[in-house]
Chain A
Amino acid sequence: MANLISFPRITRRAGKVWYRNMVVFVRTWQVNFFPPLIEALLYLFAIGLGIGSYVQQIDGIPYVNFIAPAILAISVMNSAFFECTYGSYVRMYYQKSFDAMIATPLSIEDVIAGELLWGATRSVIYVVIMLPVLAAFGVVSLPLALLAIPLAFIGGLMFAGIAMCFTAITPGIDTLNYPAFLFITPMMLFSGTFFPLTLMPAFLQYIALAVLPLTHLVAIMRMLTLPALSWTIILNLAWIAAVAAIFCVLSINLMRRRLIV
C-alpha cells in the first residue's frame, strides 16, 4: 500500500513520450483540430441559443455567457480523460508501445508521466482552439479569459491522473465505459455547468464540491471568463492542485504495479 503513494522517480525522458504523442497529433491535425471547434459551436447554438432563448439570464448573467466557461471546462475534462483512458489503453495494450519504450533508457515512470503531460497538453490545445471562437461570439471576456489556458493544463493534469488510475486497474477496454458513463457524464451535467449548483439540494451541492472535480474547474473558469473574481478561487485551485498531485502519483504507481511484474 505504501508504495502506491510514494513519489515516483521521473526523469526528463518523460518529455520524449510527450513529444512522440505530440508529433502524431500534429501530423493528423485535420482530425484533431476540428472536433473542439465544432464542439464549441454546437454547444453554443444548441444550448446557448436554444435553451438560452427561454432561460435568457441566470443571476443577471446572459445564459450563453453562463455556459461558455462550462463548455471550456468540459472540454478540458473530456480531452484529458479520454486521452488517458482509451488513448493510453490502446497504446499500452493493443500497440504494446509502452513495452517498446521501456526497452530503451525510459522507465515505466517516465512513460506514464509523459502520457499524463500529454493528456494535459491536449486539454490546453483544445482550450486554445475554442477560446477564440467563444471570444468571437463575445461570450467570454478577454484578456482575463486567457488565463483559461494555464488553467487547462492544471485541470487537464487532474483529469489525466484520474483517467490513468482507471486505465491502470481496468481489466479490458470495455470496462473503461463505466467511468465514462458513471463518472464523466453525470459530472458534465451536475457540476454547475448548465445550471447553477445552488439549484440543487444542499447535500447534493456538498457532494458535488467534495467529489466532482469538474465543479471546481467550472467555478474557476467562470470567474475568469465572466469575469467575476472572488477569493474562493484559491480554494478551488488548491483543491484541483491537490487532487491532480494525488492522482498523478497514484496512477504512475498503479501502472508500475500493473506492468512491471
Chain B
Amino acid sequence: MPDIIDARDLKKNYGSTVAVDGIQFTVRKGEIFGFLGPNGAGKTTTMKMITCVSPRTSGTLTVMGMDPEQFPAEIKQRLGVVPQETNLDPEFTCYGNLYYYSRYFDIQKEQAEKRADELLGFVQLAEKRDVSVEKLSGGMKRRLILARALVNSPDLLILDEPTIGLDPQARHLIWEKLRSLKAQGNTIVMTTHYLDEAARLCDRLVIMDNGKILVEGTPEELVRQHAGHEIVEVESSDEIVSCLRDLQIPFEKTGDMIQIAASPDSARGIARTILDRCKPQRMITRPATLEDVFLKLTGRNLRE
C-alpha cells in the first residue's frame, strides 16, 4: 500500500530564514504519526505544506499520492485540518459552523445536515447545538474544531496542537476521540508539545529541532535508544559528583538534579550503590519517558 504522505528532502525558507531544512518522512495508512519539537522547530510549517496552504521551497512531497502544488483542491477535499488557532465562525452556532463548513466541500444539503448532527454527538456537544460558538469554553471550541475537521469524512486528519491550553478532562476526551478515529481506520498526523500526549497516542513520531528531524521511531524505541529504561535521579552537589566519578558511573547534570540512565536489570544495583556510597539526601528511581529523550536531544535551553 502506498504511503499517505511521502516527503523527501523537503525544504521551506521564509526569506533568508530556513524553517524546514530538508526533512524526510513517510506516514503510513491507519497510523497516528507525531511531530514533536520545541517552538520554532518547523512543525507548523511542515503541517502547512502538507495541508496545501504554504508552497514548499524545494524537495518532493506527495499527499495521498498527489503533489500539493498541482492538486490542492483534490487533496484538501480529502483532508481534515485542526489548526493551532481557533478559527470557528463567530457568526454561527455550533451546528451552523459544521453545516456551512460542509458546504465548502460541496457536500449536499441533506447529508451536511445529517453529518453535522452526528458529529455534534460524537464530540459531545449535542446539547450546545444552537448555541453561538462565542459562548463555548476553550475545550468545547477545540472539540467543535475537531468535529468540523471531520465533516468531509477525511482520509487524513492533520492536527496542529490539538489539546493546547486544555484542562486534563478535555484533553482526555480529545484523546479518546482520536483513538476511536484511529480504530475506524483513519490516518492521523499531529504536532504536540505534550510529551505524554505523544507517548499515549502516537504509533510513530519524529522529534524536530531547527528545521531538521533528529530522530524517528515508536515512542518505546526512542525511549530505549536515547534515554535507557530507568532513570536514577539524585540531588546535585559536589560530593555526589565526585562520588559518582570515583564509582565510574556515567551521569548527566540537569539543573539541580543528577540523572543516571540505567537498564531494568542494573537500575536497582546502581541505586543501592549510590545510596550506600554517596549518601544522597534524596534519590528516586523512575522509568524513562519521552520527555527525557526530548530534553536530551533538544537541550534544556528556553526557546523564543
Contact = CB atoms under 8 A, between A and B. Distances in A.
Given A24-B91, A260-B54, A261-B54, A101 B73 contact: no
B100 interface: yes
Nearest to A101: B104
Contacts of B14: 261
Instruction: Select the residue from B14, B53, B54, B55 with max chain A CB neighbours within 10 A.
Output: B53
B91 A105 contact: no
A66 B285 CA distance: 90
Nearest to B19: A261
A103 B53 CA distance: 7
B294 interface: no
B81 A103 contact: yes
A13 B83 CA distance: 22
B196 interface: no
Interface in A20-34: 20, 23-24, 27
Given A24-B91, A95-B89, A261-B14, A105 B83 contact: no
Nearest to A11: B73
A24 B106 CA distance: 19
B55 A13 contact: no
B225 interface: no
Contacts of B101: 100, 104
A261 B100 CA distance: 27
B298 to A, nearest CB: 25
Interface string B81-98: 101011111111000000
Given A16-B103, A16-B104, A107-B72, A102 B90 contact: no
A96 interface: yes
Contacts of B92: 24
A96 B148 CA distance: 15
A25 to B, nearest CB: 10
Contact of A102 (B53, B85, B103, B152): B53
Contact of A100 (B55, B72, B74, B83): B83
Given A96-B85, A100-B87, A260-B55, A23 B105 contact: no
B84 to A, nearest CB: 10
A97 interface: yes
Nearest to B12: A261
Contact of B79 (A95, A99, A103): A103
A23 B104 CA distance: 14
Contact of B105 (A20, A27, A102, A105): A105
A106 B75 CA distance: 11
A13 B77 CA distance: 12
Nearest to B86: A96
B115 interface: no
Interface string A129-155: 000000000000000000000000000
Nearest to A23: B100
B44 interface: no
B143 interface: no
A19 interface: yes
A97 B89 CA distance: 7
A105 B77 contact: yes
A103 B89 contact: no
Given A20-B100, A261-B14, A104 B76 contact: yes
Interface of A: 11, 13, 16, 19-20, 23-24, 27, 95-97, 99-107, 260-261
13 contacts: A13-B104, A20-B100, A24-B92, A95-B90, A96-B86, A96-B87, A97-B87, A99-B83, A100-B88, A100-B101, A105-B73, A105-B76, A105-B106
Given A20-B100, A97-B89, A106-B73, 12 more contacts: A13-B73, A16-B103, A27-B91, A99-B83, A100-B89, A103-B51, A103-B79, A104-B105, A105-B105, A106-B104, A107-B72, A261-B54
Q: Please provide the 8 A-B residue pairs with the shortest distance between their CB atoms, ordered closest to farther.
A: A96-B87, A104-B104, A103-B81, A105-B73, A100-B87, A24-B91, A105-B76, A105-B77
